[in-house]
Amino acid sequence: MFINTKSSFKKTLKTQIFKMNIFFIIDILGLISFAISGALVAFNKKMDVFGVLIIAFVTSVGGGTLSDVLLGNMPVGWMENIMFSYIILGSAIFAIIFRSKINYLRTSLFLFDTIGIGLYTLLGIEKGLVAELHPIICIALGTMTASFGGVIRDILCNEIPIIFRKEVYATACILGGITYFTLIQFPIKENFVLVISGSVVIAVRLIAVKFKISLPNIYSKEM
Amino acid sequence: MFINTKSSFKKTLKTQIFKMNIFFIIDILGLISFAISGALVAFNKKMDVFGVLIIAFVTSVGGGTLSDVLLGNMPVGWMENIMFSYIILGSAIFAIIFRSKINYLRTSLFLFDTIGIGLYTLLGIEKGLVAELHPIICIALGTMTASFGGVIRDILCNEIPIIFRKEVYATACILGGITYFTLIQFPIKENFVLVISGSVVIAVRLIAVKFKISLPNIYSKEM
Amino acid sequence: MFINTKSSFKKTLKTQIFKMNIFFIIDILGLISFAISGALVAFNKKMDVFGVLIIAFVTSVGGGTLSDVLLGNMPVGWMENIMFSYIILGSAIFAIIFRSKINYLRTSLFLFDTIGIGLYTLLGIEKGLVAELHPIICIALGTMTASFGGVIRDILCNEIPIIFRKEVYATACILGGITYFTLIQFPIKENFVLVISGSVVIAVRLIAVKFKISLPNIYSKEM
């Protein structure tokens, strides 16, 4: 660190700021996606305005909150930066106003939820890397960050949590994480690695649901 | 701080001790209300004695534990002060002994639960103010502190969490929080502000359930 | 501390290392028991391979994570020692490969789950003692450590959490905890105390389920 030349220091700084920017943008996009996905589930449940706002909020910050708590980053992120709350509330109000335009509720919900898990998987992995944890732990953090908001949303709405079984939820997160740690072995720019890994999460889930693909069955017929 | 005159310092100290006392009393009353509400739900489920004690405990400390964890106040409050446990266990045992006298179970449960959320909303807001957080975050903390114990209670008892839909739960907390932050703009003594805000939470919920009032419907008929 | 003679210091050190070993072994055995119990529930739900791994993971680390978080021990244990993950994944893969040999699924599940709660009750009590907390709080920590993994497992699998009602779950943990704090009053070696207290948890649950014993009914017939 100390023997950095001035120019390499500048480069490091620039990379740091770039990384901050990338993850900041990912965080914002994830917040918006999950806020809208939360609002859509709350609409289905005919909740009142405050109910919709709260479900949007919980869905957005749930996963990040869990990973912050497990890592000991407290007060958790959304408490210290009020902008997060404004973005979530703004997205939820947007969804409330244009709810009649969001015609195909089920499809929209699925799409926003899927984009959200793709983005938050990356965010969770990054948090693990910052804390210098093992790749397996980073992937676990990514999966939790991606899925916990949706799990809380479903529990509070009395929906069966859709994680795991029907929609290849966790599998998509784990495959995205494995892609990330495979690609960073190669000399590829980190933002490409991020875009590819996030796309893997989204693609795996979309394709699996579209074509009703699932992992090889481990259950013999007599079971 | 350092240029305080002796008298203003004394006044600050007195205010501090007074505030501590007020919030201490609110905390105790909240513990008792939620412990009894937890015990009543556990009775409905025909739980054994230990089950009743645990549900009473979880309902009482759940909300405060969540807000302590999110703020990074660990070990959480009830672990460091054994008096909390004695009060909760005492309330639960009281409820067990006099359960036949608590005739109208549903009404009692609803009343104790409502008083609990009123008190804990104030407690959560105060925690947020101590951590110097934004009013929106303070209201979120108040709502979580008030509702999380009941949510865990309901999940552990296999009841559908009553938050949000049927009983204007979160709406009452949020309106109470807005009342608090509106009133402290005016030169009103803080204990009055607390009493009024807490009463707003309780009144909103009672009136809404009594007269089956809900927020303006945001759903058009064709949905 | 400072006036310890060299020999008593050595003895203390030896005891420390011994205690570390004992609790390390208990932790490992608990991880394996709960990982297999989680995998068995996931099999019942016909989950895919990743789903089974995740449920095994969550069941194993859930209780310890909760108690670590409440005590402020972050990053939580399993994140800092990758060996825990290997043991859990290994146990889950073992369960996947030999799932057809584990014939009596229900019985096996019940047995592994019961051994797990016995071991984790001790682990939670120990964590409370290390943090110098009151015995009641230690027993609460033991009960949470023992039961929370199973509760999350059941919630994620859409099973009704089996805690409390049917299988004398919490009662067993509390009785084991009371046994522990009773026995350490007497001049008995600590490893015996641990073995006896853990056995009490396991025995209480096994006997209660086997003979359909429950605590004295606190409900009068007219209720």
Would you state the pLDDT for residue C130?
Answer: 92
- The verdict on a CB contact (< 8 Å) between A140 and C47 is no
Place of tokens 């404004």: A86
Would you state the pLDDT for residue C16?
Answer: 60
Q: Which residues of B touch A51 (CB under 8 A)?
A: 164-165, 170-171
Distance of alpha carbon A64 from alpha carbon A136, whole angstroms: 18
A172 assigned to some structural domain: no
- Of all residues in chain B, the one with the smallest CA distance to A71 is B72
Which site among A164, A215, A223 would you substitute to test the C interface, given the most C Cβ atoms closer than 10 Å to its Cβ?
Answer: A164
Instruction: Count Cβ atoms below 10 Å from residue C32 Cβ, excluding itself.
Output: 23
Question: Which carries the bigger pLDDT value, residue A95 or residue A20?
Answer: A95
Place of tokens 């893969």: C93
Residue range A98-115: average pLDDT? Answer: 72
Q: What is the dihedral of CA A14, A19, A22, A27, to 10 degrees?
A: -140
Closest-CA distance, B123 to chain A, in angstroms, reads 17
Mean pLDDT, 10 residues at a time, over chain B (223 residues)?
49 60 82 89 81 89 93 89 92 86 66 86 93 93 90 77 63 92 90 91 86 62 43
Question: Which carries the bigger pLDDT value, residue A181 or residue B11?
Answer: A181
3-state secondary structure of A165: coil
Question: In percent, how much of chain A has pLDDT > 90?
Answer: 36
Question: Which carries the bigger pLDDT value, residue B212 or residue A200?
Answer: A200
A179 assigned to some structural domain: no
| pLDDT tens per residue across span A58-93 | 999 999 999 999 999 988 989 988 999 999 999 999
Distance of alpha carbon A32 from alpha carbon A59, whole angstroms: 10
Distance of alpha carbon B123 from alpha carbon B194, whole angstroms: 10
Which site among A74, A81, A82 would you substitute to test the B interface, given the most B Cβ atoms closer than 10 Å to its Cβ?
Answer: A74
Would you state the pLDDT for residue C190?
Answer: 82
What's the number of domains chain C is made of?
A: 1
A195 assigned to some structural domain: no
Residue range A133-160: average pLDDT? Answer: 86
**Domain of residue A58, residue span:** 20-162
Query: Is the pLDDT assigned to residue A182 strictly greater than 70?
Result: yes
Burial class (CB in 10 A: 0-12, 13-18, 19+), C203: middle
Query: Is the pLDDT assigned to residue A167 strictly greater than 60?
Result: no
Place of tokens 């909740």: A47
ipTM: 0.80
Would you state the pLDDT for residue B221?
Answer: 47
Would you state the pLDDT for residue A166?
Answer: 57
- Contact residues, chain C to chain A, C-beta under 8 Å: 43, 45-52, 54-55, 57, 65, 69, 72, 74-76, 78-80, 82, 85, 96, 99-100, 155-156, 158
Report whether C93 contacts A89 (CB < 8 A).
no
Query: Is the pLDDT assigned to residue A180 strictly greater than 90?
Result: yes
- Contact residues, chain A to chain C, C-beta under 8 Å: 69-72, 131, 133-134, 136-137, 140-141, 143, 151, 155, 160-161, 163-165, 168, 170-171, 174, 214-216, 218-220, 223
Q: Which of C70, C137, C163 sits opposite B65 (nearest CB)?
A: C70
C203 assigned to some structural domain: yes
C222 assigned to some structural domain: no
Mean pLDDT, 10 residues at a time, over chain C (223 residues)?
49 60 82 88 81 89 93 89 92 86 66 86 93 93 90 77 63 92 90 91 86 62 43
Distance of alpha carbon B78 from alpha carbon B91, whole angstroms: 15
Instruction: Write out the two tokens for B79.
Output: 């672990």
B13 assigned to some structural domain: no
What is the CA C89 to chain-centroid distance, rounded?
A: 18
B3 assigned to some structural domain: no
Rounded to the nearest 5 degrees, what angle is found at the Cα of B188, between the Cα atoms of B182 and B194?
65
- Of all residues in chain C, the one with the smallest CA distance to A215 is C48
Q: Which of B72, B165, B223 sits opposite A45 (nearest CB)?
A: B165
DSSP summary character for residue C159: P
- The verdict on a CB contact (< 8 Å) between C75 and A131 is yes
A15 assigned to some structural domain: no
